[in-house]
Amino acid sequence: MQEFSCLTSLGIGHLKIVDHGSVQMSDLNRQILYNERDIGLKKADIAYEKLSLLNSDILIESICEEITSENILRLIKGVQIVIDGTDNFETRLILNKACFEKKIPYVYGGIFGFKGKMTTFLPGRTLCIECLYPKKEEVVPVIPVVGPIPGLIATLQVLEALKLILGLGDSLVGRLLSFDGETMVFSYFDIKKRPGCRICSA
């Protein structure tokens, strides 16, 4: 949810928050929008309340729904950029497919323990997430999270989105950024379309 605090502070005019989860104690090591009194309440609704206090000049929508292949096209209707704050590969595949179908830039971010990674997929121009991860990722029951890592990646995702909106700077198009919090090293990898990809090479 850190991305939404940044987007709200920046004054991005219309935000759509989609999250079906409730605030858990285990979220509080990283999701600084929430506190102990919010435990058990819907994340999207609490985010809406708090972000509205931060900036009343923008339009914020909170949608407490799980993202599925049935509702995704409705959820992203009218959206100009999708910022991925999800925590599972299945949902990312749904976002990926819909973004490429509707030609919406998709700013991907993922974390695991001390590590974080991100890139920007531009439909019609770059690879997609199925090219990056051709094999289905192993499902991990509980993803280890070192508090500052998701905040760092979320902040960088917002920076990517801001540059896309303003048409400034060099984005991560065609590059994967990887950060290792144990060694404090940022690395970049060139990434390319996989020939025959059903999503981005069609």
Closest approach of Zn ion to the CB of residue 196, in Å: 9
24 in Cβ contact with 70 (< 8 Å): no
Residue 143 in tokens? 């993803």
* Beta carbon nearer to Zn ion, 51 or 99: 99
Min dist CB 124 to Zn ion, Å, is 12
Q: Which is nearer to Zn ion, 17 or 200 (CB)?
A: 200
In the complex, minimum distance from the CB of residue 131 to Zn ion, in angstroms, rounded to a whole number: 4
- Smaller CB separation from Zn ion, 118 or 149: 118
Residue nearest Zn ion (C-beta atom): 197
Least distance between Zn ion and beta carbon 192 (Å): 10
Q: Which is nearer to Zn ion, 6 or 128 (CB)?
A: 128
Which residues lie near Zn ion (CB under 5 A)? 128, 130-131, 197, 199-200
CB neighbours of 108 closer than 8 A, spacing ≥ 6? 84, 92, 118, 119, 120, 121, 129
Contact (Cβ atoms closer than 8 angstroms) between residue 119 and residue 92: no
Residue 84 C-beta: closest distance to Zn ion, Å: 15
Q: Given the complex with Zn ion, which of 42 and 193 has the nearer CB atom?
A: 193
